[in-house]
Amino acid sequence: MSYLYYPGCTLRTKAKELDVYARKSMEALGIDAAEVGEWQCCGAVYPLARDEIATKLAAIRVMAEARNENKAVLTLCSACHHVMKRVNDDIRNDEEIRTKANKYLELETPYTGETQVTHFLEMLRDKVGFEELKKHVKNPLTGRKIGAYYGCMLLRPSAVMSFDDPENPVVLEDFIRALGAEPAVFSNRNECCGSYAALEDKEMVKQLSCSVMESAKEKGAESLLTACPLCRYNLTQSGGAGVPVYYFTELLAEALGVK
């Protein structure tokens, strides 16, 4: 399958590693993923107000462009993926939102939710396959014990995201095994790090992030990996020292020998 790659804003600034190593890895794996042309910010946060249409339009433009090119949208950032998936679900299932959005956009062909939105990890699992990925590993991460931190946005709401079991996800652990390392399965791997509350309640975020770090260390994690720039920021800033946090693409590129 061909993809239109949507990097999102943070991957051009604070989360460049997530983007750079994804691109190198895609090239090494032979994945066809051209960047979306003239994309805009997805909105970063999914608007809960049902009548909030304007902040959903950028996501709809991207998905409509992918529809026109008969491609799926490929995402990396957990927040971008979350927004895209939920907006797409709105367009598919809410006639009022679909009608208003198409009136605003005045697309030549109205968008009705035809596009598939796929996270990079889903693509590795479902299209490449972890067994196939193993064949491309040149520098296996043997002897390393790595904790997979999912956070909230990849998994919930589960009926819409359809990413993995929200209570017992396995995709990141399977990914870690495919790279030759051992996953450290810890209880707080799918608990919130504090998210955007870091803007107004740093103490609460510190407590949540520290609980994630402590949970990981109890299971022997030497490092953590994540797909979320905000999670990495909160865990690094507030979660205490001793456990480095990497983007999953950094470890992928290292194992593939392209870092």
pLDDT of residue 179: 98
pLDDT of residue 162: 97
pTM here? Answer: 0.96
User: Can you tell me whether residue 111 is helix, strand or coil?
Assistant: coil
The token duo for 1 is 């399958």
- What distance in Å separates the CA atoms of residue 3 and residue 63, rounded to the nearest whole number? 11
- What distance in Å separates the CA atoms of residue 72 and residue 128, rounded to the nearest whole number? 15
If pLDDT is split at 50, 70 and 90, which confidence band does 1 have?
Answer: low
If pLDDT is split at 50, 70 and 90, which confidence band does 240 have?
Answer: low
- What distance in Å separates the CA atoms of residue 22 and residue 174, rounded to the nearest whole number? 18
Per-residue pLDDT tens digits for 152-199: 999 999 999 999 999 999 999 999 999 999 999 999 999 999 988 877
Per-residue pLDDT tens digits for 70-79: 999 999 999 9
Check if the beta carbon of residue 3 is closer than 8 Å to that of residue 33.
yes
State the average pLDDT for the chain: 95
Q: Domains in the chain and their CATH numbers?
A: 3-120 (1.20.1050.140), 129-256 (3.40.50.1860)
Q: 55 to each of 93, 114, 186, 199, how far by Cα in Å? A: 18, 20, 36, 20
pLDDT of residue 178: 98
Per-residue pLDDT tens digits for 4-43: 999 999 999 999 999 999 999 999 999 999 999 999 999 9
Per-residue pLDDT tens digits for 72-117: 999 999 999 999 999 999 999 999 999 999 999 999 999 999 999 9
